[in-house]
């Protein structure tokens, strides 16, 4: 992907350029019978970090490729900075892309990889070297310029891929599951690093992932994609606290499905009544959707629940509790309060006094 020949490259150029808005309008893409994008509408603000989150096959890569220009939609438009680029080839869109992994040129050094886009643009060797050096500095790999990709760890290789994508000072940064091939710890480090760099440069970024924790932790807003359509676009907090649909509720974070019955204005679950958030399905059986931290558990010799497993994770501890009707719920408690709650302990579980989301069974 190219910039116009006289457009400056490098970190300064990125810092000095305000992020541009990207709009997707009714994007539709069919592959035979499969509707990969089903009229996708999305408005991404300049400088925003937007995560596209969804299960495998929901259309994330197709959406990203349509933004980049590798994919021609059957219908709809892509606008960048208000300009329709739907028919513009990828090389003229000024976008940088980072893929899942293994995308570096194995026979080029790290610096040559980073300078590759500038070489394609026939920039002089001196400039390429200078740009590569400053980009490698930005991603914390200044000392590795002369190495080859196979001499780097997976996380380092993805840093190089990021530097390479940014070297041409793109208007938009597109990342397609860039961390999914990495170890858990490296994944967390690198996502924070990507966010730091994105904020520093103010570049409009679309980050595709199937990992909800990843999306919630780095993005300004998260768009939850399901079967080629957006279920909800919202800030991480809002998505977690006020999921618009049962699909979002269960895809984002851990969610208990607890059998419930309708009451006036809400539902009854686990022997207590709670108001409903939003609508209650009008027919059929319903379930209350309750987060693990919204269930209260206490040791109670007369309690009908039994702790099945206890998983310590630092400040909080997660309990699986079997209920008398055979259902199992997951409950998070402060670790300091959980010492007595060992497997086999009889307990009472109560939903916290707050409105609950209600879904169909
Ligand atoms: P995701 O990235 O969310 O996993 P994709 O965008 O890759 O999903 O794919 C969305 C849907 O389109 C899937 O059902 C996938 O099988 C289908 N698809 C994607 N690319 C092609 C293709 N080139 N040919 C046929 N089907 C495709
Ligand atoms: Mg994909």
Output the domain CATH number for residue 91.
3.40.50.300
2 C-alpha to center of ligand 2: Å?
24
- Cβ contact 162:98 at 8 Å: yes
Query: What are the structure tokens assigned to 223, written together?
Result: 């768009």
Residue 271 shares a structural domain with residue 237 = no
In a domain, 5, yes or no: no
pLDDT in tens, the chain (361 residues): 544 445 566 788 788 888 999 999 999 999 999 999 999 999 999 999 999 999 999 999 999 999 999 999 999 999 999 999 999 999 899 999 999 887 899 999 999 999 999 998 899 999 999 999 999 999 999 999 999 999 999 999 999 999 999 998 999 999 999 999 999 999 999 999 999 999 999 999 999 999 999 999 999 999 999 999 999 999 999 999 889 888 898 889 899 999 999 999 899 999 999 999 888 888 889 999 999 999 999 999 999 999 999 999 999 999 999 998 888 999 999 999 999 999 999 999 999 999 999 988 8
Residue 165 shares a structural domain with residue 230 = yes
Residue 63 shares a structural domain with residue 164 = yes
In a domain, 159, yes or no: yes
CA 76-209-168 angle, 5° bins: 70
| Probe residue for ligand 1, chosen from 54, 56, 62 as the CB with the greatest number of ligand atoms within 8 Å | 62
169 is in which domain, residue-wise? Answer: 11-246
In a domain, 230, yes or no: yes
- Number of domains composing the chain: 2
In a domain, 289, yes or no: yes
Residues of 85-109 as b/e, b for ≥16 C-beta within 10 angstroms?
Answer: bbeeebeebbbbbbbbbebbeeebb
Question: 105 by DSSP, 3-state: which?
Answer: coil
In a domain, 2, yes or no: no
Residues with CB under 6 A from ligand 1: 31, 34, 36, 54, 56-62
State whether the Cα torsion 229-234-240-243 is positive or negative: negative
| Probe residue for ligand 1, chosen from 36, 55, 174 as the CB with the greatest number of ligand atoms within 8 Å | 36
Domain boundary, last residue among 228, 246, 264: 246
Q: State the pTM of this model.
A: 0.88
- Cβ contact 73:95 at 8 Å: no
Residue with tokens 């999921």: 243
215 C-alpha to center of ligand 1: Å?
20
Which ligand has an atom closest to residue 100 CA? Answer: 2
Which run of H or of E encompasses 64? Answer: helix 60-68
Residue 219 shares a structural domain with residue 107 = yes
54 C-alpha to center of ligand 2: Å?
9
Output the domain CATH number for residue 325.
2.40.50.140
User: Which residue's C-alpha comes closest to atom 17 of ligand 1?
Assistant: 36
Residue 230 shares a structural domain with residue 276 = no
Domain boundary, last residue among 193, 226, 246: 246
Distance CA 68, CA 62 (A): 10
Residue 311 shares a structural domain with residue 287 = yes
Residue 22 shares a structural domain with residue 147 = yes
């Amino acid at each position: 992907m190219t910039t116009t020949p006289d457009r400056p490259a490098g970190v300064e150029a990125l810092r000095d350029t305000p992020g541009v808005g990207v709009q997707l309008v009714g994007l539709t893409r069919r592959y035979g019978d499969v509707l990969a994008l089903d009229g996708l509408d999305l408005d991404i603000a300049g400088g925003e970090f937007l995560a596209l989150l969804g299960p495998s096959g929901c259309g994330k890569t197709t959406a990203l490729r349509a933004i980049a220009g590798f994919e021609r939609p059957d219908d709809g438009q892509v606008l960048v900075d208000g300009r329709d680029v739907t028919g513009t080839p990828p090389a003229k869109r000024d976008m940088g892309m980072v893929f899942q992994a293994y995308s570096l040129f194995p026979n080029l050094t790290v610096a040559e990889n980073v300078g590759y886009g500038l070489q394609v643009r026939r920039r002089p060797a001196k400039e390429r070297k200078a740009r590569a050096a400053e980009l490698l500095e930005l991603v914390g790999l200044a000392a590795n310029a002369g190495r080859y990709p196979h001499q780097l760890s997976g996380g380092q290789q993805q840093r190089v891929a990021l530097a390479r994508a940014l070297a041409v000072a793109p208007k938009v940064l597109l990342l397609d599951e860039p961390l999914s091939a990495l170890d858990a710890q490296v994944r967390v480090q690198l996502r924070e690093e990507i966010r730091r760099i994105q904020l520093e440069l103010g570049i409009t970024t679309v980050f595709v992932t199937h990992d909800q924790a990843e999306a919630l932790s780095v993005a300004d807003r998260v768009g939850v994609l399901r079967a080629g359509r957006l279920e909800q676009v919202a800030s991480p907090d809002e998505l977690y606290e006020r999921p618009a649909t049962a699909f979002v509720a269960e895809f984002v974070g851990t969610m208990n499905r607890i059998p419930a019955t309708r009451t006036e204005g809400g539902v009854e679950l686990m022997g207590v009544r709670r108001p409903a958030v939003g609508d209650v399905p009008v027919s059929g059986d319903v379930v209350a959707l309750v987060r693990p931290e919204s269930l209260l558990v206490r040791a109670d010799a007369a309690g009908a629940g039994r702790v099945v497993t206890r998983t310590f994770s630092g400040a909080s501890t997660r309990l699986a509790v079997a209920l008398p009707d055979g259902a199992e719920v997951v409950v998070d408690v402060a670790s300091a309060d959980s010492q007595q709650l060992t497997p086999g302990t009889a307990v009472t579980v109560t939903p916290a006094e707050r409105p609950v989301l209600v879904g169909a069974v």
